A and B are shown apart, each in its own frame.
Chain A
Amino acid sequence: MATERESLLERLNRPVDPAGIAAFRVAFGALMLFAVVRFVARGWVGELYLEPSFHFTYYGFDWVRPLPVWGMGALFALMGLSAIGIMFGAFTRASALVFFLTFGYAELIDKSTYLNHYYLVSLLALLLALVPSSASSPVRAWAYLLFRIQVGLVYFYAGFAKLNSDWLFEAQPLRTWLQVYRDLPLIGSLLGQTPTAFAMSWAGAAFDLLIVPLLLCKRSRRLAYAAAVAFHVSIWLLFPVGVFSWVMLVSATVFFDPSWPRRWLKKSSIPSLSGAGAALSRPAAALAAAYVALQVLVPLRFVAYPGAVNWTEEAFRFAWRVMLIEKSGSVEYRVVTDRGQTLVLPRAELTPLQYKMMSTQPDMIHEYALHLAARFRAAGHADVRVYADAFASLNGRPGQRLIDPGFDLASARRSLLPQPFIVPLAAPGNSSLASAR
């Protein structure tokens, strides 16, 4: 047994050509620099972080607040500079750590800005901070393995999450989204057809589930990457996914043979191997195993929550549930105090993005209810109770109640446990509490 463990450790510590990981690092850095510049140029720092008077925080991260204008400017400047550092391999691991911290801080400010690919970017930056990725620093097999597991899990869970009745048997939400392109010349009538939506849904699920083994297999790698290019470019063309497609195409290169860049670049442009790189000690191996276990288990946490995860959105984030739902909602609050009752329309108090996100996500509806309760208490009201009149529609279903209208949201503390105030997704034809006016 001990020999087998030694053997595994030896295999993990086998020296590997650093060229592949260096190429990934250069492309990742360049992409992140572009993403940061684009984010700032579009005015999103002000729109998302500085202008809102209220921010939806992550549980346990209430302390992450927007910095003053100069502070946010400095944060994004540091983010951009560290992306340059990653790209050029200047203080690579320190640059990656700075990028991870600054990017992570910005993302933690407001839950309404959560995107799966932002989460992936954070994790990849963290890995770059831990793993040698300079072309002149030889790396060992464990470094590649960590990246491959990370990116592989994204694809696997994205495919796994698509194995649901909406996706497979209703072709939703693709059927709704593709209607948007019905009037396009040449391909519009094709995209608007239901069979097309079904074909694309099934192909999408198959792609996510199969792309990693196909990229790992040398014989199928070229064709698989060509399919990945076609898949991600199509998504980029059809849907507003920002840099998501490019992050995935860059990430997919970690499945290539480690020396793949040498076939495309002049031999002199990448130093040849020298030394053996950082060996993985047993404690480090245990730490890496713990990281991997966390990445495997976090997306699986939905099994601990009742109800349809795409409806309750409990265990939805950090689980690679990508492009699975078209959800719209409408929410308003009834605040009852010792002085009477007040109707609060959150749309008037939040940004359009915040309202869009909170109107369909129970934990955010709850968080805003707690904010209202605190506000009314601070204004001298007593016996404050907050009720939500919240309706939502998921993937073309008729709208139904999302939150129990008789539940005092102010009485429930924030928690990661299953929440009792969420009205379950109604089965077809069932319209009791779900559709009650």
Chain B
Amino acid sequence: MKRRTFVIGCAALGAGAGLELGLGCGPTEIEDQRQKLLTAWGQRVLLASYSEVETRAAELETSAQALCQARSAEALEAARSAWWAARAPWKRAEVFAFGPYSEEPQRFGPKMDFWPARPDSIANTLNGTEPLTAQAAADLGAPAKGFAAIEYLLYQPGVDVLTEFSNTRRCEYLLAISADLVTQAAALRAAWEPAQGNYLGELTGAGKTSVHYETLQLALGEIVNRMGYTIEYIRDTKLGKPLGTNSDGTPQPDVAESQFSGRAIEDIRDNLRGIERLYFGDGSPGEAGLEGYLKQRDRSFAKEMRRELDASFGALDAIEPLSEAIVSRRSEVEAAIDRLRSLQRVIQVDIINALALSVGFGNDGD
């Protein structure tokens, strides 16, 4: 009897100790490197980029005001430059196109960057008579506002854009949706800010306070998998669809991103720069990106990532501008799609495997 009690006692003690250790309820809290990485990405990439979008969107609004106050070629060029500059941080942060970006009721992504642009929707607003107040801009459908609609107003093909701005309605429209872009950018940043909406806390508080992520592993997996998905999206939607891969090979220039400004390839470069930044960090001691995290686990894909990123940037250089390449240099567009596939593979196959980050769902395994 005593022996049996002893065995049961030991088993219970062992299970209890294991439970405590396994769940990480030790007396001292050690910062999990995944949490540290997610926090760094959130603060230095996501929030920094969104903050920059907000600043540059405000500069775009200012330049739009200047254009409308004193119409000139220089003012138009300044407004176009401001639009172009605002795109850079926006596209660099595209890996984070989830949460407040895509989920109801916020869905800031479509409100800020619904593409391809729908000239019909924009023309309807241009030809309308209702006052274009801030509220009216907020209530506009996604196809009639955001980056793509502003791009259309500033770069509309087949017309003399500067002359078109003599139409006060066009100016009112540009000013209204530029201001709305600033508002949406601020709201998106606020939704992620720890002191405000704190969606970032969903990632960094995974396993503790997060509703969406039961573990830090799942939260880290979300970002790393999205790096791969972003490249897949570039290949399929940003390059493949304009090339006609889903339309029996007929080029479809009107489904390209940033098709009026000719920024389509630069948008993709910015997407890749964002991924590059997430992978390699910013070079500062405290932020070595995903490569730093891998190195802590005796793994490294720096060589492969560098090689594939450089090759991808090179392949993109060869298809500039996209509108011409999809017609006259189709094989080079196909080569770029294949090149990006190699980059996607390093992330989705090698890195995901090295870190056991495959995303399934919260089901069991064995």
Residues of A within 8 A of B (CB): 42, 44, 47-48, 113, 115-117, 173, 176-177, 179-180, 182-188, 192, 222-223, 226, 229-230, 233-234, 237-244, 322-323, 326-330, 339-343, 345, 347, 351-353, 356-357, 389, 391-399, 437
Asked if B18 contacts A328 (CB within 8 A), the reply is no
Residue of A nearest to B338 (CB): A437
The answer to whether A437 and B356 touch (CB under 8 A), given A188-B30, A241-B365, A343-B246, is: no
Query: Please, how many angstroms separate the alpha-carbon atoms of A341 and B361 in the complex?
Result: 32
Contacting A241 at CB < 8 Å: which of B4, B23, B353, B364?
Answer: B364
A-B contact pairs, 21 of them (CB 8 A): A180-B356, A183-B30, A183-B31, A183-B32, A184-B21, A186-B21, A222-B4, A226-B10, A233-B18, A234-B22, A241-B364, A242-B364, A242-B366, A244-B364, A345-B236, A352-B360, A353-B363, A393-B352, A396-B354, A398-B350, A399-B349
Residues of chain B in range 17-55 having any CB-CB distance to chain A below 8 Å: 18-19, 21-24, 26-34
The answer to whether A241 and B245 touch (CB under 8 A), given A328-B353, A356-B359, is: no
Asked if B15 contacts A185 (CB within 8 A), the reply is no
Query: Please, how many angstroms separate the alpha-carbon atoms of A69 and B132 in the complex?
Result: 47
Chain A residues closer than 8 Å to B361, beta-carbon distance: 47, 351-353
Query: Please, how many angstroms separate the alpha-carbon atoms of A187 and B17 in the complex?
Result: 11
CB of B7 within 8 Å of the partner chain: yes
Query: Please, how many angstroms separate the alpha-carbon atoms of A90 and B207 in the complex?
Result: 41
Residue of B nearest to A360 (CB): B358
Asked if B345 contacts A115 (CB within 8 A), the reply is no
Contact with A along B322-366 (1 / 0, CB 8 A): 000000000000000010011011101110111111111111111
Asked if A323 contacts B344 (CB within 8 A), the reply is no
Asked if B245 contacts A44 (CB within 8 A), the reply is no
Query: Please, how many angstroms separate the alpha-carbon atoms of A395 and B349 in the complex?
Result: 11
Asked if A356 contacts B360 (CB within 8 A), the reply is yes
Asked if A115 contacts B11 (CB within 8 A), the reply is no
The answer to whether A391 and B345 touch (CB under 8 A), given A226-B10, A237-B22, is: yes
| Min CB gap B231→A, angstroms | 10
Chain B residues closer than 8 Å to A229, beta-carbon distance: 11, 14-15
Chain B residues closer than 8 Å to A437, beta-carbon distance: 338, 342
Contacting B297 at CB < 8 Å: which of A117, A179, A339, A347?
Answer: A179
| Min CB gap A425→B, angstroms | 14
Query: Please, how many angstroms separate the alpha-carbon atoms of A239 and B356 in the complex?
Result: 12
Query: Please, how many angstroms separate the alpha-carbon atoms of A351 and B362 in the complex?
Result: 12
The answer to whether A230 and B15 touch (CB under 8 A), given A184-B21, A340-B249, A347-B232, is: yes
Residues of B within 8 A of A (CB): 4, 7, 10-11, 14-15, 18-19, 21-24, 26-34, 217, 228-229, 232, 236, 240, 245-246, 248-249, 296-297, 338, 341-342, 344-346, 348-350, 352-366
| Min CB gap B149→A, angstroms | 26
Query: Please, how many angstroms separate the alpha-carbon atoms of A240 and B217 in the complex?
Result: 12
Asked if A237 contacts B18 (CB within 8 A), the reply is yes
Query: Please, how many angstroms separate the alpha-carbon atoms of A328 and B351 in the complex?
Result: 9
Asked if A330 contacts B228 (CB within 8 A), the reply is yes
Chain A residues closer than 8 Å to B248, beta-carbon distance: 339-340, 342
Most A C-beta atoms less than 10 A away, residue of B7, B32, B341, B363: B363
Query: Please, how many angstroms separate the alpha-carbon atoms of A188 and B29 in the complex?
Result: 12
Residue of B nearest to A437 (CB): B342
Chain A residues closer than 8 Å to B364, beta-carbon distance: 115, 117, 240-244
Asked if A342 contacts B14 (CB within 8 A), the reply is no
The answer to whether A341 and B249 touch (CB under 8 A), given A352-B361, A356-B360, A399-B350, is: yes
* 4 A-B pairs closest in CB distance: A242-B364, A185-B26, A237-B22, A399-B349
Asked if A113 contacts B228 (CB within 8 A), the reply is no
Asked if A244 contacts B363 (CB within 8 A), the reply is no
| Min CB gap A184→B, angstroms | 5
Contacting A182 at CB < 8 Å: which of B22, B297, B363?
Answer: B297
| Min CB gap B304→A, angstroms | 9
| Min CB gap A381→B, angstroms | 10
Query: Please, how many angstroms separate the alpha-carbon atoms of A242 and B18 in the complex?
Result: 17
Residue of A nearest to B243 (CB): A343
Contacting B15 at CB < 8 Å: which of A115, A233, A240?
Answer: A233
Residue of A nearest to B24 (CB): A184
Chain B residues closer than 8 Å to A328, beta-carbon distance: 348-349, 352-353, 357-358
Extra inter-chain contacts (11) besides given A186-B21, A240-B365, A330-B228, CB under 8 Å: A182-B33, A184-B21, A185-B24, A229-B15, A328-B349, A340-B248, A343-B240, A352-B359, A356-B360, A391-B349, A393-B352
Query: Please, how many angstroms separate the alpha-carbon atoms of A233 and B346 in the complex?
Result: 35
Residue of A nearest to B364 (CB): A242
Asked if A230 contacts B14 (CB within 8 A), the reply is yes
Chain A residues closer than 8 Å to B19, beta-carbon distance: 233, 237
Contacting A237 at CB < 8 Å: which of B4, B23, B353, B357?
Answer: B23
Contacting B30 at CB < 8 Å: which of A115, A185, A393?
Answer: A185
Contacting B356 at CB < 8 Å: which of A185, A326, A345, A394?
Answer: A326
Residue of B nearest to A392 (CB): B349
